[in-house]
Amino acid sequence: MRRLLTVLAAGVPLAAAVCLPTASAESQNGSASAPSACSVPSVKAPAGTEVESVTAARQEGGTIIGTGVLQGSVSDVPAFCEVTVTLTHPGADDHAKVRTWLPVSGWNGRFQGLGGAAYLAGDNNVGLGTAVKNGYAAVTTDAGVGDALDTSWALDAKGQVNTALLKNFASRSQHEAAVVGKEVVDGVYGKRPAYSYFNGCSTGGRQGYMEAQRYPDDYDGILAHAPAVNWDEFEVATLWPQVVMNNEKTYPSKCEFKAFTDAAVKACDPLDGVKDGLVNDPERCDFDPRRLIGTKVVCDGKELTVTAADAAVVRKIWDGPRTASGEKLWYGVPVGADLGGLANTTLPDADGNVAGAPFPVPAAWVKLWVAKDPSLDVSKITYSRFTQLFKQSEAEYDKVIGTDDPDLSGFRKSGGKLLTWHGQADQFIPTQGTVKYREQVEREMGGAKRVDDFYRLFLAPGTVHCGLNKGDGTTDDLGALTAWVEQGTAPKTLPATLINASGQSVTRDLCSYPQVSRYQGGDPAVASSFRCVSPSQY
């Protein structure tokens, strides 16, 4: 756990990573009004809530340091007014803080809601500071729960699931933040926002999809990246690598896992027509890990030989969870993604033995919400027990936090736009879950062309979980969304800078799904050497 927290604190994009907006937008109203004083506005309680308190304080800005295990920072933040509204749901004994940051000057007339990460329901101040720096009034909520890896709220004193806090985390608090935040903007500036946007990745991405599905009038535009939709399924599925290693009693080292990943990338890199250090479509990669059996790998100065057991473990992890009879339950870790994220192990003990070290997010979900047993030893989960837990999670939580309703007719009718990118080397949320959801929406709502009118998905080769704009490439996603919402310019592609297998920066125009990128000739490091084609032409 200490090593995990160190990595999180270093800002490496994990499941608890936050997607930050990268574009500032010009003011909608020339010089939009700014608060003359940071006073406490009048706030009406959203339906089903009571307002416990409202406070307001002027903050001088400067460098904002992120709270909790995620940390991070943003500099040169201008002065802002911070309004905090604490809500409770009568009878629930909950206390959800909704925080709105409003630039003292230079407001661009826009409003931005910010999502959370892992079990953190909202932003840790870095996203708020970035939004204010770019001229937005911004809101977030803690939903009455804790930090990214804090699950102390899961069960009540009787050992039962705290349904009120789960409902806060799953859906209602994010909606209430949108309602309250806009009220605060109106109360402080004397006018409502011209446009409202939501921005989130991972848990935040799931919250964005939830908004589109359940509260389609909250936002004009939604950025929802690497979304944790299908929560009830993928959250159990991402414990699968640990279940495989424990049941096979085989724990490949990080070096061995990397050898398998590197070999797969090398083998499947040319499928798009050129060797450029990026696997453009991991689903077409049929690299067989058994090809590495007998290969020597040097790890920490020690030579290891890849075994048939190692290869069998990797095959199962890539393939994804299945029942004992072979029924596929969910998707595996994408080929090309770091296997060490979900298939992590402890350091060797005095006898050189290692054990599985599960990623805490799925481990907590299975122990607390599904098994409702904090003492559950996940290392003892058999394949049959895993299947039972997977199906139990589906049955109990799909309607609560699944966030996979394909009926987006309300969002389309409201005129909303939904933009998503998902890294194809996502080590924590299988990319194919997002693809599956998009395909379900197409079947529900009349096909790809009709869905493209309001919802576009872009897949980013070689990109890790929440990687773009977090040190693993960049894209101006917020700029693309605002142009779509405010000028009607739908993004045919999403221009991006990606990092290839050699660590080099290359430019790519990410294709709108289902199109894929195909090499046309020229310098493989520049976007103009590729064009988007239909999969049948690939």
Q: Active-site positions?
A: 202, 426, 465
Question: What is the bridge-based pairing of β-strands 96-103 and 50-59?
Answer: unpaired
Contact 234, 430 (CB under 8 A): yes
Residue located via tokens 């999670």: 393
In the Cβ-directed half-sphere of 111, how many Cα atoms lie within 13 Å? 26
Collapse the DSSP code of 301 into the 3-class scheme (helix H, G, I; strand E, B; otherwise coil) and give the result: coil
In whole angstroms, what is the distance from residue 309 CA to residue 355 CA?
16
> Which residues, in sequence order, are CB contacts of 215 under 8 Å at separation 6+?
175, 178
DSSP 322: B
In whole angstroms, what is the distance from residue 110 CA to residue 174 CA?
18
Paired with 457 in beta bridges are: 420
The conformational region for residue 118 under phi > 0 = left, psi -120 to 50 = alpha, else beta, is left
In whole angstroms, what is the distance from residue 184 CA to residue 102 CA?
9
Q: What amino acid occupies position 167?
A: K
- Helix-, strand-, coil-residue percentages of the chain, each rounded to 5: 35, 20, 45
Nearest CA-CA partner of 45 in 143, 184, 227: 184
Token pair listed for 396: 């109990």
Nearest CA-CA partner of 196 in 469, 421, 415: 415
